Amino acid sequence: MSEDLKPDGGVISQADILTQFAVIRTKDKRIVVQFPVLDPTTQTVDVPVTMELAAAGLQTLARVVRQQQQKDKPRIAVVPAMPGLKGD
């Protein structure tokens, strides 16, 4: 997707939200995660929906990073995770 992302001026109302996955940092530096649940009584996490939402968020973040790298010098160095052994 080569189209640049732009801020959406639309407001999402509470009534429009079906489910959400959120990672939040509190004022006291704690990390809080809100998962979609299958059953509010047992608090069983809906893992497939959580993964879909997390993936959509990561894809959006990747697009934002690509978009910013087009305008600025890249600040991320891509290196192999396991460099080859010397002498092989």
Q: Tokens 């047992």 label which residue?
A: 42
What confidence tens digit (pLDDT) does each residue in 27-85 have? 999 999 999 999 889 999 999 999 999 999 999 888 888 888 776 566 667 666 765 65
Q: Tokens 């006291």 label which residue?
A: 28
pLDDT of residue 83: 58
One DSSP character per residue, the chain reads --SPP----PPPPGGG-----EEEE-TTS-EEEE--EEETTTTEE-HHHHHHHHHHHHHHHHHHHHHHHHHS--------SSPPPTT-
pLDDT of residue 51: 95
Domain boundaries, the chain: 38-69
Where residue 3 falls among pLDDT bands split at 50, 70, 90? Answer: confident
pLDDT of residue 17: 86
